[in-house]
Structure 1
Amino acid sequence: MAEMLVKENDDGMEKRHLGVNAALAAYILWGLLGVFWELLSVVPALDTLAYRIVFSLITIGIVLTVQKDWGTIWQTIKQLIKSRKIFWIILSSYLISLNWFIYIYMVTHHEATEASLGYYIMPLMNVIIALVFLHEKLSRSKIIALLLVIIGVVILTFQTGSLPLNTLLMAGSFCFYGLIKKQVQLPATISLTLETFFVAPIAIIYLLLSPHVITQNGLGVSTLLVLSGVITVIPLLLFAVATKNTDFITLGFIQYLNPTIQLLMAIFVMKESFDWHKAIVFIFIWLGVLVFILGNVHGVHRIKAKK
Structure 2
Amino acid sequence: MSKLFCGLLWLVGTCLSGAVHASEVDQGLATLWEVMWHQSGTPTRVVRWEDDIRVRVFGVNVEAHKQTTMAALRAVTAEAGLKLIDVSDSPQAEELSNLDVEIVPDNKLDDNQPCATYLDFKSENRIDSATIQMRGRDAWRCAYHEAMHAMGLRGHPAGKTVLSYFPWRVDGLLPLDKVMLRAWYSKKMTGGMTPFEALPVLADELVAISPDKAAAEQARNRFFAATLGQMQAYASGGGDVPVVVKRSGKSTDEGVRQGRTEMCYFLGVAYQIGATAPQDSAKAVHWLERAASAGNRGAQALLGSFR
TM-score in same-fold range (> 0.5) = no
Q: Higher relative CO (CA 8 A, sep ≥ 6), structure 1 or 2?
A: 1
Which structure has more strand as a fraction of its residues?
Answer: 2
Which structure has more helix as a fraction of its residues?
Answer: 1
Output the TM-score relative to the length of structure 1. Answer: 0.32
